[in-house]
Amino acid sequence: MRLKLLLLTAIVTLTSACTTNQLTGRKQLLMTSVDQENEMGAQAWEEIQKKEKETSNKDQTDAVLRVGKEIAEVTTQYNFDWEFKVFESEQANAFCLPGGKVAVYTGLFKFTANDAELATVIGHEVAHAVLRHGGERMSQGALQQIGAELLRVGEVGDAWLQAYGIAASGLAILPYSRKHEYEADEVGLTLLARAGYNPESALSFWGKFGADSDSSSFAELFSTHPMSEKRLKEMRKQLPKAMQIYNTIPEKHNLGVIY
Ligand SMILES: [Zn+2]
């Protein structure tokens, strides 16, 4: 009886969970609301801050605040409670949790030559959040968990909530799918252009490393954001559209501060 009720709930949830993303026009499976996603993002942020050490490097902190603010402004995500931090770590990585909690690791600065290249990474991460990729990933994860549970014991119990818990804890460390990467690249480029940073910086940043970087610290960024020659090719295709937007921006930063 309980199983039937659960399956019924799952079916109702699924049919009401497909929403069309305004930015991409793609149908997304989302079992979470924006508020729930932002709440989970805030919780994960609390946990991460307990583990990570904030840097004392003022230049890097200032750069992330300066660039982050510009990117955040053009997203018009008024339901986001933005925060920007730089954590001390060798790894070259960054993330943006649902709700706008942005972290950059100090290792990333070895690979950024200016504000515009930093904006490339922040814009890409913010795009993942704006496009609700975290919510989508959690929904997919939860669905898999529930499927597995149903097969295993024929009844679910707390599995639904547990699955969300498991998925939420992986928000910052799970790799994104290729589809998510392409979307974040495209929307990220748009954000970069609208914030007044030269979109060519996206190609100079990602292109520097190509598809086969030898750097182990840079490999961290690839582990959560799989890079490929095809991704670069797609970005090159998106560039003219981004340049068109960039050319309409009255106050351009171009490359911004050079490091
Ligand atoms: Zn990504």
Nearest to 221 by CA among 116, 92, 98: 92
Of 32, 198, 213, 177, the residue nearest 117 (C-alpha): 198
184 C-alpha to ligand 1 centroid (Å) = 6
Strand partners for 83 = 101
State residue 176's pLDDT score: 79
Q: Which of 29-38, 140-149, 207-216 has the highest mean pLDDT?
A: 29-38
Residue 232 pLDDT more than 70? yes
For residue 200, how far is its CA from the centre of ligand 1 (angstroms)? 18
DSSP string, 161-229: HHHHHHHHHTTTTSPPPHHHHHHHHHHHHHHHHHTTB-THHHHHHHHHH-S----HHHHHHHHHS---H
Give residue 188 CA to ligand 1 midpoint distance, Å.
9
pLDDT tens sequence across 47-99:
899 999 999 999 999 999 999 999 999 998 889 999 999 999 988 889 999 99
Sheet strands (E) in the chain = 18-20, 27-29, 83-87, 94-97, 101-105
Domain ranges of the chain: 32-248
pLDDT band at residue 145, thresholds of 50, 70 and 90?
Answer: low
Ligand 1 centre distance from Cα of residue 179 (Å)? 10
Going by pLDDT thresholds of 50, 70 and 90, the confidence category of residue 1 is very low
Per-residue model confidence (pLDDT) at position 138: 78
- Residue 85 alpha carbon to ligand 1 centre in Å: 18
Does residue 151 have a pLDDT over 50?
yes
**What is the 142 CA–ligand 1 centroid distance (Å)?**
21
Closest CA to 100 of 125, 65, 70: 125
Q: What is the pLDDT of residue 224?
A: 77
CA 2 to ligand 1 centroid distance, Å: 39
**Residues 199, 242: contact at Cβ < 8 Å?**
yes
86-136 pLDDT, tens digit each: 999 988 889 999 999 999 999 999 889 999 999 999 999 999 999 999 888
Q: Which residues pair with 150 in a beta bridge?
A: none
What does the DSSP 8-state code read for residue 110? G
CA of 150 from ligand 1 middle (Å) equals: 32
The predicted pLDDT at position 135 comes to: 84
